[in-house]
Each structure stands twice: as structure tokens, then as C-alpha cells.
Structure 1
Amino acid sequence: MSVVIVIPARYQSSRYPGKPLVELTGASGEAKSLIRRSWDAAQAVAGIDWVIVATDDARIRDHAEAFGAEVAMTSPEARNGTERCAEAIANLGLSPEIVVNLQGDAPLTPAWFIEDLVAGLRGDAGADVATPVLQCSGRMRADLIADRAAGRVGGTTAVFGHDMRGMYFSKEVIPFAAGDFAADAPTPVFHHVGVYAYRPAALAEYPGWGEGRTELLEGLEQLRFLERGRKVLCVEVEARGREFWELNNPTDVAKIEEMMQRMGAD
């Protein structure tokens, strides 16, 4: 088995309880749950051998199985999606080349983001983990700044070096850049797309390390890899005219539905 996508989903989200079951209405007027849209996004990715929903909640399990998903039940003790992915892979006894964590709050994730991510990790033998980054337009940067000004935790931003190795990830808008940017102009800010590709050995070690200091401060699971000196490859992806946003807060539902309407996405 080569590449497995795991979609970790928990009901008790601190910011948005029940988020995986929230319905989003597409351009055709059809409403589908967030977990269903994540499953559909995973099915559209080329070169994937298996897609699994990993959850600790019977409501999510029953809903996912009803639309045909394969579900792996995991412990409620998993502290984040990476730990849940590690548990699901271990429980199922799988030995894939690469494990992809497609978190269930990014229904607008295009298939090529994940395809480019897998290709990036395959092409860099020194990396333990890979994750996509998307250069922000002035509009996207302004939206991120507006979220923070309103006291909302919106998207995550990434800073990386010339070798594309991740240096830091934050829920603040970094790096700082003075002034404003035109709506469609590129900016020095990169939006971190909440998808990960792991080498199985690094994924298996992750739960045993315990939570790191900056991981706890930021609430970002990928920082545990950096704190342990593991190499996180940032893979720049292209929007190709698609809009992208993650569902982090209840207010994001209307934003994402508006994007789907503009793009004609169902």
C-alpha cells in the first residue's frame, strides 16, 4: 500500500463543537456535511490507495458510514489530528509509504494540493513531514488580519527558509509587513494549508514525544515536529484561480459558502 489519506474528525472541538457535521451549501443548492465534503475531496486525489475517517465519536461514525466512508474508531485521548492519524494507522496494522492527514475543516482543498504535497515529500528524502503553503493575496492577508483584530483565530501562517524547511507556524499573521497590499497582489505572507504528509516512522514516534511548549501556546500540532528537530518541508501550492479558506469558526460557514457560490463549487 502506497498512500493512505486519514481524515481525523472529533465532535468536541473547543472552538466549534460538532463541526464535522455542520452542513455547507454548494453552488447547486445541495447541503453536505463538512466531513462528507472532506471525504469527497479525498476521493478526488489521484494516486491514493485508501481513505479512512478516524474518529472517537459515534455520531460522526454513523454519519460517515451512511454515505459510504470507511471509519476507524480511535481513542478520545488523542490530543490532535496527528495523534489520531497515528493511532488509526497503528490499529489497522497498515504500513504505507506515506500517510496524509486531510483535516476535516478544509473542504475547499483542491486535489492538486495533496498531489503536489505527496510528490514533494517523495522528492525530499531528508524531510519527515510535508505540508502545503499558499502565498496570500492582499485580500487573503487582509482577511487574516481582520480575524485577529476581531479576536478570532482564523488561518495559520508559515515562515520557511530558502530550502523550504519550515521555521515557524503561527496563528498570528507573520511575517510582519508594513503597509497595505492591493487585493490581488502577492504578499510575503503564506497561508498554511491544514494538510500533512508524514513518513510512517515519524508519525509513529509523534504521540510518544508529549506536547511541546510552542505547540501548546499556539495550539498547532506541527510545532511538535519542529521542537523535536524534525524537518518539516513546506510545499508551495498554486490556487489556480480557486479560493481557499478553512472552517475554524461559525462565522466561516457563510464565507466558505460564498466562495463556493463564486467558484460554482458543489
Structure 2
Amino acid sequence: MAISTFAQDRFKYTTIAHNGHHYCSPLSPNRAAELLAALQLQPDALVLDAGCGKAALLRDLLKSQPVRGVGVDINSYFLAEASDAWVASNPDDDRLTLIESEVKHHPFPASGYDAILCIGSTHAFDGFEHCLTICKQWLKPGGKLLVGEAYWKQRPSDEYLAILDAREDELTGHAENAKRTVAHGYTLRTMAASNDDEWDQYERMYCAAIMQYIAAHPEDPDAQAFGDRAQRWYDSYLASGRSTLGFGYYLLQKN
């Protein structure tokens, strides 16, 4: 993508950093397939991918099950990539709709959704708790929510929190996340977590994508800052993040 395309764009860094990723989260194809199979949706079910990014998980779902999908995100570059990938492999399949919008303001079907995916995008609802509340309102009776949320493996150091620009109380533990879903009135069907290999691949590719972009575009005025940012982030991952930050998946059903 041309440098000028990204001029003054707030999505520039994250779009470049996820250039080589299929999923914009520490998720492997095998784990994704297991989570999608566990949804057990009926034919023609309507599924929302909230904060879909490249809509890779939604596209995989549509390829594996005869359902319809709506992907919503505010990053037009990710949506364009998702659209191109879907049309290239499914030229006559109109089951995927992609919408550039804030999730909370997207055109909402009056009948609700049969299922919602929200992997690493609870911030689109202003946090995990609000995501659980709003998605429950949007789901049909018996509908399912597959949500992915970060958690602390151990208490984070002050230095690591500074790198994340986060507070310790913004996250809880894996088991605590599960308890919070039940407190919101869901039935917890299954839970899982990204392993070290999935995290290592995600973070390695994230940093490498930035460095490859810098090597190809040394004249970009953002190159130095982006390189420093990516290296600092990767160093902090190796030093602290790998042992401190987890990512959990929670398959929930509306009661």
C-alpha cells in the first residue's frame, strides 16, 4: 500500500503491523476451527463479527458452515482486504456483508443475531462488561457469543503496564473472566486460551511486518518512530508480556 494512502491515518501503524496476519489476534488455524465448530449453528443463521478487522474468522465460519455473516469495523483497509479475499475465493457467494462503522452504530437487524463473534474487540463496546451486556441484547433467545478477551497470567509490573499504557484493574484473570460472563446471565459452553506458540507467532509477525515496511519505505517520515515502537513492544513481550498477558476465548449462550 502506498505511503500516501496512509498519510495522517490513525490506522496506519496497526494496518502495517498486521500485514501478514490472517487473524489479528494470537489465534492459530487449529484453535479457530475448534472454536467455530463448537458454535453449532443452524443453516442460514445470521452472525455478526463485531470489530471484525479482516473478518478472517467470520470468513472461515462461512466457508465451514452454511450461515450468513455481517462484519463491522472502522478500519477501511482491513475491510477492503477482507472483501478482496472473500470475492477471490467465493466470487458468486453473497453471504458476507462488510460494513464500515462503529459497532454500536451499525445497522442492526430488528430480529437480532443468532451468534456474535467479538475477538479482541471488546473495546468497540467500551470494554468487556459492556460487550457482554450489549451483545446479550442483540442476540436472539438461545443465541451464542464467542468473545476473546485479554487477561493477566500474573500481576503485571509497573514497567510493563507503562508499555501497554494500561492499568492493572483493566483486566482480571482467565477464571475471573469466565465468572463475569456467568454473572451476566450467560451459560458458559466452553473456554480456551492462546498458548505460547500462538502468542510467539503473533508477536514475531507483528514486529517483522513493521520492520519489513521500514526497509521498503525508508523515506517515510514515520519510519523511525514506528521501528522504535515495534522493537520496544517486542522487547517488552519477550521480557514480560509472554509470562504476564494471556488471551482467553469464551463461548457463551444467552439463556
* Same fold flag (TM > 0.5): no
> When you count helix as a share of all residues, which structure comes out higher?
2
Please indicate the TM-score interval, normalised by the length of the shorter structure. Answer: 0.3 to 0.5
Name the larger-Rg structure: 2
